[in-house]
Amino acid sequence: MTGNSRQVTSEQQGCHPDLIDRVARHRKHEFQKPIADFNLHAFQQAEAQLTAHGGPLILDSGCGVGDSTRHLAEHYPDHLVLGLDRSGHRLQRQRPDLPDNALLIRTDLVDFWRLAAAANWQPARHCLFYPNPYPKPSQLSRRFHAHPVFPAMVTLSRQFEARSNWKIYLQELQLSLAVYGIHSLIEAIDSDSPVVSAFERKYRASQQPLWKLITQS
């Protein structure tokens, strides 16, 4: 199998010089953006499902077409796996027969994470596979670790994994987590390891180097 996905290119060749100041500012000032009604409804749906399940939770944030949610649900059959994505188009392309312990929900992560943090959710694991890296230096504030939502995100689980085909994204994420006293390890993804998502399958087919960040509690 071959692919034609282009590697991430950027004028930024290392961690953004404004990153730490941005993280510190967002840690100090609470994010006040109102929660959209449809995101509140999505969270209530998820909360009802979690209550009905009664077991541990895994969040698969930015799940796309749901392949990663399926992968996690199959590997953790006693967990409820919630796949979250804001794209209705991607979610409609989900493959059939999603495991019974998995649910895909259309929602904006920025609102959902804040609602989950306010409800003191403590997922057993939180996965963020191949988020949009927004690689232009001017797009720093659109990366989750430099966004006002980051303080809410870091409260959700100490067992956190992120994957990317742009190593700088994970290096920035690692520095941002360290501000909160959360240590993490970045390592290359072995080409023989199981594919976790549609994006990962595409990037591997294009022979791109891939990395993962895993927190160390």
Rounded CA gap, 66 and 68, in Å?
A: 5
What per-residue confidence (pLDDT) applies to 2? 57
Q: Is the pLDDT of residue 1 over 90?
A: no
What per-residue confidence (pLDDT) applies to 84? 97
What per-residue confidence (pLDDT) applies to 62? 95
pLDDT tens for residues 56-99? 999 999 999 999 999 999 999 999 999 999 987 777 776 778 99
Q: Is the pLDDT of residue 3 over 70?
A: no
What per-residue confidence (pLDDT) applies to 186? 98
Question: What is the chain's alpha carbon radius of gyration, rounded to the nearest angstrom?
Answer: 17
pLDDT cut 70: percent of the chain above it: 98
What per-residue confidence (pLDDT) applies to 35? 97
Rounded CA gap, 130 and 211, in Å?
A: 10
Longest CA–CA span in the chain (Å) reads: 48
pLDDT tens for residues 172-186? 999 999 999 999 999
The domain spans of the chain are 37-216
What per-residue confidence (pLDDT) applies to 92? 76
Q: Which of 38-42, 120-124, 197-201 has the lowest mean pLDDT?
A: 197-201
Average pLDDT, the chain: 94
What per-residue confidence (pLDDT) applies to 131? 96
- Look up the CATH architecture of domain 37-216: 3-Layer(aba) Sandwich (3.40)
Q: What is the mean pLDDT of residues 112-140?
A: 97
How many angstroms from the chain centroid is the CA of residue 190?
A: 20
User: How many other CB atoms are there within 10 angstroms of residue 192's CB atom?
Assistant: 5
Q: Is the pLDDT of residue 165 over 70?
A: yes
Q: Is the pLDDT of residue 4 over 90?
A: no
Angle subtended at Cα 60 by Cα 57 and Cα 64, rounded to the nearest 5 degrees: 150
Q: What is the mean pLDDT of residues 187-204?
A: 93
Q: Which of 17-31, 80-94, 148-162 has the lowest mean pLDDT?
A: 80-94
Measured between alpha carbons, how far is residue 17 from residues 30, 132, 195 in Å? 23, 20, 33
